[in-house]
């Protein structure tokens, strides 16, 4: 039982009967070895002698002390051995750097509602996992938004422990983005907004664009460098059918990238392995195979505007290359900054 509990503590939950059976078999082998080690020795029968109560008490006392000492030594020795073995396992090859790259970029590729803050701070190594720290800055219209920290932990079996879809992520303006029935009603709504407000919005393109055309479209509506470098883009259409092995809560999310320079997305995908599927699923992305098919000929199907004034949204809405603008949250622009 102790061996089974220890395996569960180190390796995490057993998601299948096969994993549980393997752990039970390992625990049974340990139990057999311990039983063999503790079996009573064979000693010759001696003639019974005189009972010495004081000697018996001293012998019992020495036995208790020796047993406690041996137990402490075993616990300390086993703890040191497990820590060394875990560190060697976690540090093998480029495991830590690869996890930081897969999860750090992957999270923001699955969640364009957060501003890109870099691949994250990596990596704290514990007995049971490698920990990556991400700073989350949600894209909302209000300038009073607060950042938060997200810890992504890779366990010994190469799975995310408590992945993002099992945690409470901060709400972003994209969570409130709604689709108006037609452009006329959206135009009427935007016309009614004062010039002192800004909004988070998703611009859906009528046809996918290549990188140069996307930059030209943004520049035409006065979104230029360096602001254009922070515009997250969608690499799938809004009605894309996700295929592959993804089964997580975010399985229906579109693949995105933190900026229109999708050559970075292609370079990132080239470094992915089939063994990364569980981590990708944990952060909300489809399988490596699906990402590779997108990276072969990447196109931009839409992008996210952060703190955009109503007039800018109206200009995008009137552009023939734009099919629709989905407006999220709206707030007064106290800071005077717009994206």
> What residue has token string 């990708």?
280
Three-class SS state of 17: helix
Look at residue 92 in the predicted model and tell me its pLDDT: 65
Look at residue 4 in the predicted model and tell me its pLDDT: 64
pLDDT digit string, tens, across residues 100-120? 899 999 999 999 999 998 877
CA dihedral 264, 266, 267, 271 (to 10 degrees): 140
The residue-averaged pLDDT of 175-186 equals 84
Tokens of 175: 């969570």
pLDDT digit string, tens, across residues 46-63? 555 566 677 777 777 777
Look at residue 244 in the predicted model and tell me its pLDDT: 39
The residue-averaged pLDDT of 284-305 equals 95
Contact 221, 316 (CB under 8 A): yes
Three-class SS state of 323: strand
Three-class SS state of 133: strand
Q: Starting at the earlier edge strand, list the strands of the sheet with 129-136.
A: 121-125, 129-136, 148-155, 160-161
pLDDT over 80 at 99, yes or no? yes
pLDDT over 70 at 295, yes or no? yes
Return the CA Rg of the chain: 29
Look at residue 251 in the predicted model and tell me its pLDDT: 40
How far is it, in rounded angstroms, from Cα 76 to Cα 63?
A: 20
Alpha helices per DSSP H over 42-182: 53-90, 95-110
Look at residue 248 in the predicted model and tell me its pLDDT: 40
Burial status of residue 133 (CB atoms within 10 A of its CB: 0-12, 13-18, 19 or more): middle
- Among 11-25, 151-165, 300-314, the range scoring the smallest mean pLDDT is 11-25
Look at residue 78 in the predicted model and tell me its pLDDT: 62
249 falls in which pLDDT band (50, 70, 90)? very low
95 falls in which pLDDT band (50, 70, 90)? confident
For the full predicted model, state whether its pTM sits above 0.85: no
Percent above pLDDT 90 for the chain: 41
138 DSSP assignment: B
Look at residue 47 in the predicted model and tell me its pLDDT: 55
321 falls in which pLDDT band (50, 70, 90)? very high
* Residue with the larger pLDDT of the pair 259 and 95: 259
246 falls in which pLDDT band (50, 70, 90)? very low
How far is it, in rounded angstroms, from Cα 325 to Cα 62?
A: 81
* Residue with the larger pLDDT of the pair 150 and 245: 150
The residue-averaged pLDDT of 79-100 equals 70
Boundaries of every domain in the chain: 1-37, 51-90, 95-166, 173-332
250 falls in which pLDDT band (50, 70, 90)? very low
pLDDT over 90 at 80, yes or no? no
pLDDT digit string, tens, across residues 10-20? 666 665 556 66
Look at residue 73 in the predicted model and tell me its pLDDT: 65
Look at residue 65 in the predicted model and tell me its pLDDT: 78
Look at residue 164 in the predicted model and tell me its pLDDT: 82
- Among 135-139, 208-212, 240-244, 335-339, the range scoring the smallest mean pLDDT is 240-244
The residue-averaged pLDDT of 95-103 equals 88
Distances (CA, A) of 15 to 21, 28, 154, 270, 288: 11, 20, 16, 29, 22
252 falls in which pLDDT band (50, 70, 90)? very low
């Amino acid at each position: 039982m102790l061996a089974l509990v220890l395996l569960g503590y180190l390796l995490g939950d057993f998601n299948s009967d096969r994993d549980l059976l393997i752990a039970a078999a390992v625990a049974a082998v340990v139990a057999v070895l311990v039983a063999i080690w503790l079996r009573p020795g064979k000693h010759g029968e001696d003639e019974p002698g005189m009972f010495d109560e004081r000697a018996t008490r001293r012998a019992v006392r020495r036995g208790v002390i020796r047993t406690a000492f041996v137990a402490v030594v075993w616990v300390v020795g086993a703890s040191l051995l497990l820590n060394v073995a875990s560190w060697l396992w976690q540090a093998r090859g480029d495991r830590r750097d690869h996890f930081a790259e897969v999860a750090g970029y992957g999270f923001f590729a699955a969640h364009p509602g957060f501003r890109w803050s870099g691949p994250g701070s990596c990596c704290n190594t514990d007995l049971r996992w490698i920990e990556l720290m991400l700073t989350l800055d949600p894209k909302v219209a209000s300038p009073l938004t607060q950042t938060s920290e997200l810890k992504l932990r890779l366990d010994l079996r190469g799975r995310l422990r408590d992945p993002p879809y099992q945690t409470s992520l901060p709400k972003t303006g994209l969570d409130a983005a709604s689709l108006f029935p037609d452009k006329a009603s959206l135009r009427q709504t935007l016309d009614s907004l004062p010039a002192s407000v800004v909004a988070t919005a998703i611009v859906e393109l009528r046809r996918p664009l290549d990188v140069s055309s996307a930059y030209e479209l943004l520049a035409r509506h006065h979104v230029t460098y360096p602001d254009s470098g922070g515009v997250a883009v969608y690499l799938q259409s809004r009605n894309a059918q996700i295929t592959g092995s993804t089964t997580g809560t975010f399985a229906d999310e579109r693949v995105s990238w933190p900026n229109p320079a999708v050559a970075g997305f292609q370079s990132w995908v080239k470094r992915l392995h089939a063994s990364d599927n569980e981590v990708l699923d944990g952060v909300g992305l489809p399988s490596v195979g699906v990402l590779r098919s997108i990276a072969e000929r990447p196109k931009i199907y839409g992008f996210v505007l952060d703190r955009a004034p109503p007039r800018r949204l109206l200009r995008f809405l009137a552009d023939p290359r734009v099919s629709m603008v989905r407006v999220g949250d709206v707030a007064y622009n106290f800071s005077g900054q717009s994206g």
